[in-house]
A and B are shown apart, each in its own frame.
Chain A
Amino acid sequence: MTIRYLLFVTMRNVQSSIAVLLAASICLGVALFSAACYLERDSLASVYFPTWAKQTKALIAFSKKPNEKDLKEVIAKIHGTRWVKSYHLVEGKDVMELLKKKLAVLDKTLEDMDPAFFPDIMELSLTDHCLALPGRCESFLRDLEKIRHVASVYSPLPWIKTAYDKLQVLRRLLLFAALLLSFVSLLMAGVGVQLSLGKYRKEAYLWNLLGASPWFMRFPCYGQVCLTFVVGVATAVSFPYWFSEIVCFSFPTLLLRGFLIASGVFLFALVAVAEANFRRARKMVSGDDGSWEK
């Protein structure tokens, strides 16, 4: 009976400030999520770069059909670098076939053309390092242009670099927000505990006068802290995860999916904080938070 009573008091204390504690947990989740994005470049890339950007390809166009020696020279240059994941040679006639398929309207015009008109192309799949260090990757690609029979190298990196620079600013803002939200979550967890203890204080004082042992007095407090910790960590970890899962499931082809996830998580945290503060303010105004009790 004693344990049941203590559990009841503990649950009541947690429940009395559940909105604040959940908001705090979500803030913490966002902070963890953002910090993880900041600390780990791969995560950052996966969140802030659309999936297609990770499959970035550069194209090497040859001025004439390359012989084996030319190809070897290019491959030797590519091999052993950290910029290129794989390569694939596409011959001019294959390029034409590809264009035929894609541009069915122009089919007739292409029929008349000499397949030799299209130069052979080598397709390079770039690694994630290129996204992280686009400047250095770009200079490597420019070096390829100096090889004989290489007409030009088409690289998407310059505009990716521009986007990356802008995202760096966002990334710093994100880190700042993460720090701020960690602080907010700590404050809110403190407020939550204070809110529930306000109600509990009167009862605990009475227990003390009626002869409750020290452990009996402390149990609801410890219980509340443990329960809050478990619920808080579970929410903090699972909320961003499930939110991103839902977005990925709902918008499988959306290009800016990562951005949507990050923005959604932040927005949800802000709404949760506002809602929790509103509840607390309402409780304080109605004098229901126990603050009037001595």
Chain B
Amino acid sequence: MAFITCQHMYKKYPGTDWIFYNAGLSIEQGQFLFVLGNSGSGKTTFIKILCGQEGYDRGRIFVKNRNFRNIRRKHLHLWRRTLGVVFQDFRLLEDRTVKENIALPLVITGFGKKEVIDRVNAVLKLVDLQHRADVPCKLLSGGEQQRVAIGRAIVHGPELILADEPTGSLDDDHTRRILQLFTTLHRRGLTVVIATHDRRLPLAVKGCRTVMIRDKNFVDVVPVKRANK
């Protein structure tokens, strides 16, 4: 069963050309998907549509066979709780500590104190930030902030992780570590969708699927190295 299905999706911003024109994409449960595209091709818009930040003009999106349009605005938060989103600009609360940032989704959703502490500690271990737990986020490096953002995205046990340019501002070493982290999460059964402009990234993850936004539609592509083999 497809986890998310987009059918004949159309999207444009006022005063601009179509971003998606009759676009279709199906994402399977437990899939590791890279969405490639040049700047301005619509990667971020796609992520925003999936987390309900942006609407779409025409077409249908099904989430576990349920029409996305039928989710009422006041119930949208319930859908968002099943997502873990890593934003392009991290969106961390800079004056709060690493621990508090990671705990935020749990506090918002009403977890108990003990559960919050246990989960945050587990995630800190996973993203290797135990030694920085009580440091305000504004004092962290770019790579550490990225890991905090990932930690915050996974702490509440989401079914789907959406990451928008998660390695955009990182060096090769940090990029490799972040991808390793996503691979670990994928192995645990999570569905991962990463939007990026970097065509080398899919090469670093075995068994992933790659789609490219081309001509306002999603096109399945095969990473270059594998095609050469």
Contacts and interface: CB of A to CB of B under 8 A. Distances in A.
B110 A210 contact: no
Interface residues of B, number: 24
Contacts of A1: 107, 111-113, 116
A2 B93 contact: no
15 contacts: A1-B111, A1-B113, A1-B116, A5-B107, A207-B104, A207-B108, A209-B53, A209-B85, A209-B91, A210-B85, A210-B105, A211-B77, A211-B78, A211-B81, A214-B77
A11 interface: no
Contact of A213 (B77, B91, B105, B107): B77
A2 B104 CA distance: 9
Nearest to B78: A211
A203 interface: yes
Contacts of A216: 108
Is the contact region of chain A dominated by helix, strand, or loop, or is it mixed?
A: helix
B82 to A, nearest CB: 8
B109 interface: yes
A206 B77 CA distance: 12
Contacts, number: 43
Given A2-B110, A210-B108, A203 B80 contact: no
A93 B83 CA distance: 102
B197 to A, nearest CB: 22
Q: How large is the interface on A (under 10, 10 to 19, 20 to 34, 35 or more residues)?
A: 10 to 19
Which 7 pairs show the lowest CB-CB distances between chains A and B?
A211-B80, A211-B81, A212-B108, A211-B77, A210-B105, A5-B107, A1-B113
B226 interface: no
Contacts of A208: 77
Interface in A165-222: 203, 206-214, 216
Given A203-B93, A206-B93, A209-B85, A2 B77 contact: no
Given A203-B93, A209-B87, 12 more contacts: A1-B107, A1-B111, A1-B116, A206-B93, A208-B77, A209-B80, A209-B85, A210-B152, A211-B83, A211-B109, A212-B108, A216-B108
Nearest to B79: A211
B111 to A, nearest CB: 7
Contact of B51 (A203, A206, A209): A209
Contact of A206 (B79, B91, B111): B91
A207 B77 CA distance: 10
A54 B191 CA distance: 85
A209 B112 CA distance: 21
A231 to B, nearest CB: 25
Contacts of B111: 1
Pick from B74, B107, B109, B112 the residue with the most CB of A within 10 Å.
B107
B214 to A, nearest CB: 28
Given A203-B93, A206-B91, A206-B93, A211 B116 contact: no
Contacts of B85: 209-210
Contacts of A5: 107
Interface string B82-101: 01010100010100000000
Contacts of A213: 77
A206 B108 CA distance: 11
